[in-house]
Amino acid sequence: MKQFHAIVIGATGAVGRFLVSQLLENSRIKSVTIFVRKNIISENKKLIVHKIDFSNISEHSDKIVGDVLFSAMGTTLKDAGSRKKQYLVDYTYQYNFAKIALKNGVKNYSLVSSVGANSKSLFFYPKIKGDLENDIANLSFERIQIFRPASLIRPLDLLRKNEKILINFLIFFNKLGLLQSLKPLRVEDLAKFMIDKVFEDNTNKLTFYDLKEIVKR
């Protein structure tokens, strides 16, 4: 049984932290290398931590090696402070990292995107996601898998007040059979789905997974 060396960026975020924990528990994963802005201390021997400045990713290019890259970075306009800074996190850092990973021989790429991603959107957030999807799709990875969840149910300690309100609103209408395309998804379920797809036989170079594909399992 082949074992994979996994790379994760966005490892401290809602989806990323579950990706890391589940990858570490998976017997088919030999090592997990994460790149973070703040140092993390762990005694798990499978985990390799690199603290880096994402604005100078090229300085750390020799460390970006493995079989599969999970890209789960993301922020909000409020947290970023400006559209320019949000674009850096949601597009620039991830795209630049992907290019280096490809150059270093990484063959598989998995991206957390978003429902409604569209480079032609008049709205800023879906446009960023669409821009990244398009440019990643043009890279020559052997396999690219792009996941488009809608609202994500994060652990309670990470949920913002407005997110709790939105999720409760969507759950209520989902029970009535409405707004199914926006059905909330637990972050741990998304992480598991992403990892399962890495090991699945799939000869397609590019595959998109919308919410209906993720939740129908």
In a domain, 166, yes or no: no
Does residue 203 fall inside a structural domain? yes
CATH of the domain at 88: 3.40.50.720
**Residue ranges in the chain whose pLDDT is less than 70:** 1, 153-184, 215-217
Give the span between the Cα atoms of 145 and 163, in whole angstroms. Answer: 27
Closest to 34 (Cα-Cα) out of 26, 140, 18: 18
Distance CA(101)–CA(199), nearest Å, equals: 19
Residue 178 lies in a domain: no
Whether 17 maps to a domain, the answer reads: yes
Q: Would 180 be classed as within a structural domain?
A: no
Q: Report how many domains make up the chain.
A: 1
Q: For residue 184, what pLDDT is reported?
A: 64
Closest residue by Cα to residue 135 from 174, 173, 95, 182: 95
Instruction: Give strand pairing partners of 209.
Output: 147
Strand partners, 71: 9, 111
Residue 94 lies in a domain: yes
Torsion sign (Cα): 137, 141, 214, 195: negative
Q: What's the pLDDT score for residue 166?
A: 47
pTM of the model: 0.86
**C-alpha span between 156 and 135 (Å, rounded):** 34
Q: What is the pLDDT of residue 154?
A: 58
118 lies in which domain range?
A: 4-153+186-215
| Within a domain: 174 | no
Task: State the Cα torsion 31-147-190-26 to the nearest 10°.
Answer: -20
Q: What pLDDT digit, counting tens, does each position of 193-217 carry?
A: 999 999 998 889 999 999 777 766 5
